């Protein structure tokens, strides 16, 4: 019975044939169906997240959709220059938007063409500003959002923020929920945006008093460590709306005084309240051309 040892081999061969002709294609088909189901599930979840986000941002069906035509007409209204980087400074009232623009343009509040600054000098309409020797960019000053209750969607539409190349969200303490919603609105619109946390000089001086520090340097260190943690927390909150892709909004810590000093190509002040923090990175983020010739 020499063929008896061949039986297991034959069974194995048959099994292999079955496996290749029937079982494997079936398994592949099941796996493909599973992948398709998972991909539909992901699309459904992503659409649900988008709808929830629009609701959070105060989506208003009465507002026209942001079409190419709407963007073109808004650009004509605001005086957009297609040959330049058009950068708008947005945010709440009194946070320091106009002061930052003046600092970047190397102007004092009383100089000709300076943006109106101060608590009784609320910016009422859109104004355009040029940085001396930097004709490649235009800065736009706009009125503040008014109250925390203005939905991001409404501020974004009312101020035609979709018309600009870059939105700079200015704030002076932690990012408020309104600020975070505005940044999310920009991300949703695939628009370049960044945040800038200004008035650091005043905060550091306040910290020295509030935290009973021995000197300004100690106050600066405590301020910076708290601010960096806060920025991380806000970044996580923004990123949570897009779990399926990487989203990061940079938040630069500056003061308008130090930005002006930087723009005048001065070395960083020694004073701990006004010494540079993120001024160089902020200027670079606006345009790398602003930091050429700088060796601070």
Binding site for ligand GTP (CB under 6 A): 93-99, 117-119, 121-123, 143-144, 198-199, 201-202, 255-257
Classify residue 90 by burial, with Cβ atoms within 10 Å: 0-12, 13-18, 19+: buried
| Number of residues assigned to the chain | 296
By beta-carbon proximity to ligand GTP, the closer residue of 115 and 285 is: 115
For residue 123, state whether it binds Mg ion (rule: CB under 5 A).
yes
The least CB distance from residue 181 to ligand GTP, in Å, is 18
* DSSP SS3 for 130: strand
- Going from the C-alpha of 253 to that of each of 151, 180, 280, the distances in angstroms are 25, 16, 10
Which residues lie below 8 Å from residue 60, measured CB to CB, with a gap of 6+?
151, 153, 154, 157
Nearest Cα to Cα of residue 53 among 247, 252, 250, 229 = 247
By beta-carbon proximity to ligand GTP, the closer residue of 143 and 269 is: 143
Q: Which stretch binds Mg ion (CB under 5 A): 10-18, 21-29, 94-102, 173-181?
A: 94-102
Classify residue 158 by burial, with Cβ atoms within 10 Å: 0-12, 13-18, 19+: middle
Q: Angle at Cα 194 formed by Cα 84 and Cα 64, nearest 5°?
A: 75
The least CB distance from residue 259 to Mg ion, in Å, is 15
The least CB distance from residue 124 to ligand GTP, in Å, is 8
Q: Which stretch binds Mg ion (CB under 5 A): 53-61, 97-105, 181-189, 254-262?
A: 97-105
The least CB distance from residue 90 to Mg ion, in Å, is 11
Phi, psi for 147 (deg, rounded to 5): -125, 165
By beta-carbon proximity to ligand GTP, the closer residue of 256 and 261 is: 256
Which residues lie below 8 Å from residue 222, measured CB to CB, with a gap of 6+?
207, 211, 213
The least CB distance from residue 119 to Mg ion, in Å, is 10
- From the list ligand GTP, Mg ion, none, partner contacted by residue 129 (C-beta under 5 to 8 A by kind): none
Instruction: Give me the residue whose beta carbon is nearest to ligand GTP.
Output: 144
By beta-carbon proximity to ligand GTP, the closer residue of 106 and 289 is: 106
By beta-carbon proximity to Mg ion, the closer residue of 144 and 151 is: 144
Query: Is the alpha carbon torsion for 14, 19, 25, 27 positive or negative?
Result: positive
For residue 98, state whether it binds Mg ion (rule: CB under 5 A).
yes
Classify residue 176 by burial, with Cβ atoms within 10 Å: 0-12, 13-18, 19+: middle
- From the list ligand GTP, Mg ion, none, partner contacted by residue 241 (C-beta under 5 to 8 A by kind): none
Question: In whole angstroms, what is the distance from residue 250 CA to residue 228 CA?
Answer: 11
- From the list ligand GTP, Mg ion, none, partner contacted by residue 95 (C-beta under 5 to 8 A by kind): ligand GTP
The least CB distance from residue 101 to ligand GTP, in Å, is 8
The least CB distance from residue 220 to ligand GTP, in Å, is 14
By beta-carbon proximity to Mg ion, the closer residue of 89 and 153 is: 89
Residues binding Mg ion (CB under 5 A): 97-98, 123
């Amino acid at each position: 019975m020499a063929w008896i040892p061949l039986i297991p081999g034959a069974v194995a061969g048959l099994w292999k044939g079955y496996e290749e002709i029937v079982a494997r294609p079936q398994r592949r088909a099941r796996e493909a169906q599973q992948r398709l189901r998972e991909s539909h599930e992901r699309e459904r979840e992503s659409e649900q997240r988008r709808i929830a986000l629009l609701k959070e941002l105060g989506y208003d069906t009465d507002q026209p959709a942001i079409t190419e035509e709407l963007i073109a007409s808004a650009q004509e209204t605001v005086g957009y220059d297609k040959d330049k980087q058009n950068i708008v400074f947005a945010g709440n009232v009194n946070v320091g938007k106009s002061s930052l623009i003046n600092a970047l343009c190397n102007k004092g509040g009383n100089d000709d063409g300076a943006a109106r600054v101060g608590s009784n000098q609320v910016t009422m309409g859109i104004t355009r500003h040029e940085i001396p020797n930097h004709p490649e960019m235009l800065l736009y000053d706009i009125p503040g959002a008014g109250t925390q209750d203005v939905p991001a969607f409404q501020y974004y539409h009312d101020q035609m923020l979709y018309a600009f190349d870059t939105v700079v969200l200015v704030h002076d303490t932690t990012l408020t929920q309104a600020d975070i919603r505005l940044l999310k609105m920009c991300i949703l619109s695939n628009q370049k945006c960044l945040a800038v946390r200004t008035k650091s000089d005043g905060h550091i001086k306040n910290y020295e008093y509030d935290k009973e520090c021995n000197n300004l340097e100690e106050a600066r260190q405590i301020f910076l460590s708290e601010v960096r943690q806060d920025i991380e927390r806000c970044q996580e909150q923004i990123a949570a709306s897009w779990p399926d892709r990487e989203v990061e909004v940079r938040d630069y810590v500056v003061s308008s005084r130090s930005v002006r000093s930087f723009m005048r190509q001065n070395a960083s002040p020694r004073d701990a309240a006004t010494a540079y923090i993120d001024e160089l990175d902020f200027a670079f983020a606006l345009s790398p051309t602003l930091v050429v010739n700088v060796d601070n």
